[in-house]
Amino acid sequence: MRWSQLLFSQGFGTRRDCEALIHGGFVEHQGALVEHDEIVMAHDDLPFRVEGRDWVYRTQALLMLNKPAGYECSQRPSAWPGVLTLLPPPLRTRSKGGVQPIGRLDQDTTGLLLLTDDGALIHRVTHPKHHVPKVYEVQTAEPVTEAQLARLRAGVVLNDDPQPVRAAACEATAERALRLTLTEGKYHQVKRMVAAVGNHVNGLHRSAFGSLTLDPEALPPGRWRWLSAEERSALLHRP
């Protein structure tokens, strides 16, 4: 493809904007200016610079964000800024449609959020039949009891569905903290499950999604990174 097509696919504006970036001397590759709209062999991880900022080509975008509190995952955030504002603008204007969160975390929930522009991948990973486990670290208002843990494992009925929902795994991690693994993603599921057993969520953090875990030292709150090809395939082809 041509450089202008490559830039367009990665979200750097209209075809005309992308040509203007090239002719204005704002695009570099391997330390040299891209002076003409020449053909380039695009492949994942091909590095380039636009207006002094390093970038890599990705056929499809798949990334992880360490979501801070105070950001909404909805497409049209109302009360709080949207999570997409934490990402570089080109990720929101990629030619296939910008990235969107894979499932949602509440405004006050922190931790691992995946985003992609690949609709099939979203469907694959969020469909309940695939049982992709998500791990939540929960701070509770009241001490966690064995009876509460047993009920979370056995299943609790939430108000919108007569079918009980159960934790795939559940353990106390401190007097007022527990680790809960869920394989579905119902609205406010953790908060509603914990309320249903007579406790209350004071803090919620997602630490793992499928095969991926969040390393907050490597990726502090508010930061994002691309997933590697290996991470992508481990997410899609779970045992």
Q: Identify the DSSP state of 104.
A: -
Q: Identify the DSSP state of 212.
A: E
Query: Nearest distance from residue 152's CB to ligand URA, in Å?
Result: 13
R_g over Cα of the chain = 21
Task: Report, in this order, helix, strand and coil percent for the chain, each rounded to 5.
Answer: 25, 30, 45
Options 18, 27, 64, 105; binder of ligand URA; rule CB under 6 A: 105
Binding status of residue 109 toward ligand URA by CB under 6 A: yes
Q: What single string gives the DSSP state of each residue in 13-26?
A: S-HHHHHHHHHTT-
The residue with tokens 């630490």 is: 207
Binding status of residue 179 toward ligand URA by CB under 6 A: no
Binding status of residue 5 toward ligand URA by CB under 6 A: no
Binding status of residue 189 toward ligand URA by CB under 6 A: yes
CB 118, CB 60: distance < 8 Å: yes
Options 204, 214, 227, 235; binder of ligand URA; rule CB under 6 A: 204
Options 22, 165, 190, 214; binder of ligand URA; rule CB under 6 A: 190
Q: How far is CA 146 from the centre of its chain?
A: 32
Nearest to ligand URA of 27, 132 (CB atom): 132
The residue range among 3-11, 149-157, 166-174, 183-191 that interacts with ligand URA, by the rule CB under 6 A, is 183-191
Query: Nearest distance from residue 119's CB to ligand URA, in Å?
Result: 22
9 Cβ contact list (under 8 Å, min separation 6)? 1, 42, 57, 94, 95, 96
User: Is the C-alpha dihedral spanning 92, 97, 103, 107 positive or negative?
Assistant: positive
Binding status of residue 191 toward ligand URA by CB under 6 A: yes
As annotated, the active-site residues are 106
The residue range among 44-52, 75-83, 114-122, 188-196 that interacts with ligand URA, by the rule CB under 6 A, is 188-196
Q: Where on the chain is the footprint of ligand URA (CB under 6 A)?
A: 105-106, 109, 188-191, 204
